[in-house]
Chains A and B, each alone.
Chain A
């Protein structure tokens, strides 16, 4: 390796400046077949299949709710996921999902490095798809390199145009599928096709078409190299026992030609298996050389493993010169020690523990979720009102939420204080001293509740009040707690 001279930046130097930008080195990934390529195809088919098809799956929720299995209904502030319906105040489920996603990412990373980057990340999946289209139209690596080096003929133009057209179609379809998660999919498809969709829908599609086309078609590995924070965080989170796509230099070095290796091997000399054929570099979608070790640019997709296995098979050497391995094992093999694999480490336990705790809490919340809730907020200003007859009145904003898909009637009671007069502004009807509140399907209703009581100046602490609603249909109770305050108990 030629060692460049270390230069320091000197603003007063007369020497010509460095270029203002670094030109991108075009990468022409070569096609490859093998185990990891097959895994990537399957994951690509499954993830994209889910993404494009999911909005069209139906789920019956009765007459008062949408029948789309996965729907984020922004205007009505509801999110639906099969049997789950989330209200805006339950956005902590989203927090939970984000924690789970982060922890799952960390766990994957602790077990086998950048699994997310290599197989699951949308950037990787869509880039893979775009590269497949490119290969189909423009041919493989060598063909594309030759064409790009040659003159720009009509035929070249036609091929490029075809490729970009297909890219834009896929990108447009990607954006189109995205908006379907936010409205009834079949209806929206018809609206979009007849140019009757909302401006928001068209703008969203346009933006996502643009980003998909740019990111997956034009920028590709530059997103991973420059835009994505995860490679940086990943490098800080990993440890020596995490499996990584590794060039086993203990076996590969010294690199030499097949012929030279055969001669040396016959003579009993130490020989490396790497024949420096550069196949691992040729297939790499980000253009890195895996033999330099794990780098920022290496998304660990395993395609170099497939490429190298192919070569090793051809030269009749054992496969997996590049494999999921650790540097620890390389060092151990060099010292004549057996391999060790430690999937059970403090960090994997910790991540798994956090995942199960957060997941458990979410499931518990979901299972015990009350279909009707009552929230009580005491008037903050004034805290109490003195009436003309000297009695004290406290006012509360009470919100009753009916999360069920049919209308419900609730009987309403305020408990905790004898001889308290309870008035509700806007209550439906009262019978035999009981107050009844109707709340429509999947709706909330706010009421102003007034509690009036004699002024007892000797009272030293606020009195706890319990606002109880009982669902007249199934007898389910929900209780909200607040306090009755008097001049004596306000400080």
Chain B
């Protein structure tokens, strides 16, 4: 029997504990070779059996051009479809309400507005953000949806129509259409004339113009070529998708080179129609979301 009162002769771990070591020694500290507890070992074996069962029941082993499918036929793709269906069923109460309610009334009901904005925000991130930006801030050629300058109309209904049918989207006959001629490319105006009319366009919104520019000539060219769509005073026409040229918001930039480029090339941006891809409630939610970003009319 060990006596507490007498100092032990050998303080090494194996002697103290009666357990062998692995032979590893670090700075005089030895590693004991204790056996594992039985329950631990059993748990370990149980895990191995579980893994074998898993191989049989679930997709497990990659083959050259395929993989083992497993007896249960489980697939992550089927699973996510089920999950999505479940989510849709969970939201059906609110989505039915959204479908049945006028856009203006959705915005008047705090409950519906909150739901529509949340749904719209999520749908926007997935479908719209690649072009319009995560915060709908837009880029050159892709409109900023936060401001109050709307090419095709900024009422909630206008926004919904644009979402449904797109802009200059050939597969949709109801798509927003209206194409600016390629004045330069098609030889309608020569380079000098384009410069002159560009100066006049810049002057419409009070932007500085080149010294010695002939604004009177520019005005005449504008009246002859541009006023039909953009209006006599440059206020634009949302029916035709002709942007307002007299305000401070510029889709392609407000320097003379950018304006000349647009007159030369013409055309306009393209947006897909979403009615084949999104359901009615999602499109309505998107319209409410965009309309309530702040710039909606």
B84 lies within 8 A of chain A by Cβ: no
B77 lies within 8 A of chain A by Cβ: no
Q: Pick the residue among B12, B38, B134 that contacts A6 (CB under 8 A).
A: B12
Q: Bound complex: CA of A390 vs CA of B254, how far in Å? A: 13
Contact between B15 and A6 (Cβ–Cβ < 8 Å)?
Answer: yes
**Complex contacts, B33 vs chain A, CB 8 Å:** 7, 9, 18
Name B36-77 residues within 8 Å CB distance of A.
36-41
Q: Pick the residue among A22, A393, A446 that contacts B35 (CB under 8 A).
A: A22
Contact between A390 and B37 (Cβ–Cβ < 8 Å)?
Answer: no
B171 lies within 8 A of chain A by Cβ: no
Contact between A9 and B148 (Cβ–Cβ < 8 Å)?
Answer: no
Contact between B5 and A22 (Cβ–Cβ < 8 Å)?
Answer: no
Q: Bound complex: CA of A291 vs CA of B137, how far in Å? A: 76
Nearest A residue (CB) for B2 = A1
Contact between A390 and B248 (Cβ–Cβ < 8 Å)?
Answer: yes
Stretch of B217-225, B269-277, B288-296 on the interface side: B288-296
**Complex contacts, A380 vs chain B, CB 8 Å:** 135
Q: Bound complex: CA of A10 vs CA of B14, how far in Å? A: 15
A266 lies within 8 A of chain B by Cβ: no
Nearest B residue (CB) for A254 = B3
Q: Bound complex: CA of A94 vs CA of B246, how far in Å? A: 58
**Complex contacts, B14 vs chain A, CB 8 Å:** 4, 6-7
B34 lies within 8 A of chain A by Cβ: yes
Q: Bound complex: CA of A388 vs CA of B117, how far in Å? A: 24
Q: Pick the residue among A23, A24, A426 that contacts B113 (CB under 8 A).
A: A426
**Complex contacts, B292 vs chain A, CB 8 Å:** 425-426, 448
Given the known inter-chain contacts A9-B21, A426-B107, please indicate yes or no for A22 contacting B36, CB distance below 8 A: yes
A406 lies within 8 A of chain B by Cβ: no
Q: How far is the CB of A240 from chain B (nearest CB, A)?
A: 16
Q: How far is the CB of B42 from chain A (nearest CB, A)?
A: 8
Contact between B244 and A388 (Cβ–Cβ < 8 Å)?
Answer: yes
A412 lies within 8 A of chain B by Cβ: no
Given the known inter-chain contacts A8-B21, A390-B248, please indicate yes or no for A382 contacting B137, CB distance below 8 A: yes
Contact between A23 and B38 (Cβ–Cβ < 8 Å)?
Answer: yes
Given the known inter-chain contacts A381-B135, A385-B294, A387-B249, please indicate yes or no for A219 contacting B147, CB distance below 8 A: no
Q: Bound complex: CA of A59 vs CA of B4, how far in Å? A: 57
Q: Bound complex: CA of A380 vs CA of B137, how far in Å? A: 10
Contact between A20 and B36 (Cβ–Cβ < 8 Å)?
Answer: yes
**Complex contacts, A457 vs chain B, CB 8 Å:** none
Interface size class of A (residues with CB under 8 A): 35 or more
Main secondary structure of the interface of A (DSSP, over half): loop
**Complex contacts, A385 vs chain B, CB 8 Å:** 137, 144, 146-147, 294-295
Nearest A residue (CB) for B135 = A381
**Complex contacts, A222 vs chain B, CB 8 Å:** 37, 39
Q: Bound complex: CA of A10 vs CA of B23, how far in Å? A: 8
Q: Bound complex: CA of A382 vs CA of B142, how far in Å? A: 14
Question: What is the size, in residues, of chain B's interface with A at 8 Å between Cβ atoms?
Answer: 46
**Complex contacts, B28 vs chain A, CB 8 Å:** none
Instruction: Indicate the member of A382, A423, A445 with the most B CB atoms within 10 Å.
Output: A382
**Complex contacts, B146 vs chain A, CB 8 Å:** 382, 385, 393, 395
B11 lies within 8 A of chain A by Cβ: no
Given the known inter-chain contacts A253-B3, A387-B148, A390-B248, please indicate yes or no for A24 contacting B37, CB distance below 8 A: yes
Name B10-25 residues within 8 Å CB distance of A.
10, 12, 14-15, 18, 20-23
Nearest A residue (CB) for B22 = A9
**Complex contacts, A38 vs chain B, CB 8 Å:** none
Contact between A249 and B5 (Cβ–Cβ < 8 Å)?
Answer: yes
Contact between A6 and B147 (Cβ–Cβ < 8 Å)?
Answer: no
A388-401 vs B, Cβ < 8 Å mask (1 yes, 0 no): 11100101000000
B187 lies within 8 A of chain A by Cβ: no
Q: Bound complex: CA of A292 vs CA of B10, how far in Å? A: 16
Name B239-297 residues within 8 Å CB distance of A.
244, 247-249, 292-295
A293 lies within 8 A of chain B by Cβ: yes
Q: Bound complex: CA of A389 vs CA of B21, how far in Å? A: 83
Instruction: Indicate the member of B41, B136, B137, B294 with the most A CB atoms within 10 Å.
Output: B294
B133 lies within 8 A of chain A by Cβ: yes
Given the known inter-chain contacts A388-B249, A389-B248, please indicate yes or no for A426 contacting B37, CB distance below 8 A: no
**Complex contacts, B114 vs chain A, CB 8 Å:** 426, 445-446
B110 lies within 8 A of chain A by Cβ: yes
Contact between A253 and B35 (Cβ–Cβ < 8 Å)?
Answer: no
Contact between B294 and A382 (Cβ–Cβ < 8 Å)?
Answer: no
**Complex contacts, A151 vs chain B, CB 8 Å:** none
B199 lies within 8 A of chain A by Cβ: no
Given the known inter-chain contacts A3-B15, A18-B33, A387-B148, please indicate yes or no for A249 contacting B22, CB distance below 8 A: no
Contact between A22 and B37 (Cβ–Cβ < 8 Å)?
Answer: yes
**Complex contacts, A446 vs chain B, CB 8 Å:** 114
Nearest A residue (CB) for B10 = A3
Q: Bound complex: CA of A7 vs CA of B244, how far in Å? A: 92
B1 lies within 8 A of chain A by Cβ: yes
Q: Pick the residue among A6, A24, A250, A255 that contacts B21 (CB under 8 A).
A: A6
Q: Bound complex: CA of A393 vs CA of B137, how far in Å? A: 13
Q: Bound complex: CA of A467 vs CA of B160, how far in Å? A: 33
Given the known inter-chain contacts A226-B40, A385-B295, A387-B147, please indicate yes or no for A21 contacting B35, CB distance below 8 A: yes
Contact between A21 and B37 (Cβ–Cβ < 8 Å)?
Answer: yes
A160 lies within 8 A of chain B by Cβ: no
Q: Bound complex: CA of A277 vs CA of B222, how far in Å? A: 115
Q: List 25 A-B contacts (CB under 8 A).
A: A1-B1, A1-B2, A6-B14, A6-B20, A6-B21, A7-B14, A7-B21, A9-B20, A9-B23, A18-B20, A21-B40, A24-B37, A24-B39, A253-B5, A291-B4, A382-B146, A385-B146, A386-B248, A393-B147, A395-B146, A395-B293, A425-B113, A448-B117, A448-B294, A450-B294
Q: A7-B20, A22-B36, A387-B148 are in contact. List 16 more A-B contacts (CB 8 A).
A: A7-B33, A9-B33, A19-B35, A20-B41, A226-B37, A253-B4, A381-B133, A382-B137, A382-B146, A385-B144, A386-B248, A388-B147, A388-B149, A388-B247, A423-B294, A425-B107
- A-B CB proximity, top 4 nearest: A381-B135, A7-B20, A388-B247, A382-B137
